Amino acid sequence: MSAPKKIAHIGIAVKSLEKTLPFYTEQLGLELVGTEIVESEQVQVAFLKVGESHIELLEPLSDESPIAKFMEKRGEGIHHIAFDVDDVTGRLATLKEQGVPLIHEIPKAGAHDALIGFLHPKAANGVLYELCQYPKES
């Protein structure tokens, strides 16, 4: 299994995209690439370009959203680090075989039409990692 290609994004939990975005766009000067609602995670996401990676701001759409539950416990801040990988299904299967605790054993739909899967934070000393497989560009 090859190493991840790059850090795809760093996910940051926020209460309000509207209130948070100006800091990233005006003060930090990052380019807002777009926003998207990700139903599977019950969040609205804003993507900000940083070199070949992104900052992903995550606003919960309901109290049942994993991001809302995260913020109840820890407040706003870094939520996860996402790696760009070639075969998320194969990686999750291999990690499961190796006894790595997973949140998702089977990939699910994520932003940008990616297939995603999360490793459980207890696998990595409290860090939540996401694996992302993006559609092939034609």
* pLDDT for position 129: 97
- CB-hemisphere CA count at 13 Å for 109? 8
Q: Is 122 contained in some domain?
A: yes
**C-alpha closest to that of 47 among 38, 36, 39:** 36
Q: Is 75 contained in some domain?
A: yes
* pLDDT for position 72: 96
Give the number of other Cβ atoms within 10 Å of residue 2's Cβ: 8
In the chain the beta strands, taken as DSSP E runs, fall at 6-13, 31-38, 43-50, 53-60, 77-84, 108-109, 115-119, 129-133
**C-alpha closest to that of 82 among 10, 1, 2:** 10
Q: Is 46 contained in some domain?
A: yes
* pLDDT for position 137: 65
Q: Is 106 contained in some domain?
A: yes
* pLDDT for position 40: 83
Q: Is 60 contained in some domain?
A: yes
Question: Residue 93 is part of a domain; what is its CATH number?
Answer: 3.10.180.10
Residue by residue, pLDDT tens for the chain (138 residues) are: 778 999 999 999 999 999 999 999 999 999 999 999 988 889 999 999 999 999 999 999 999 999 999 999 999 999 999 999 999 999 999 999 999 999 999 999 888 889 999 999 999 999 999 999 998 864
Q: Is 138 contained in some domain?
A: no
Instruction: Tell me which residue range forms the domain holding 23.
Output: 6-133
Domain total for the chain? 1
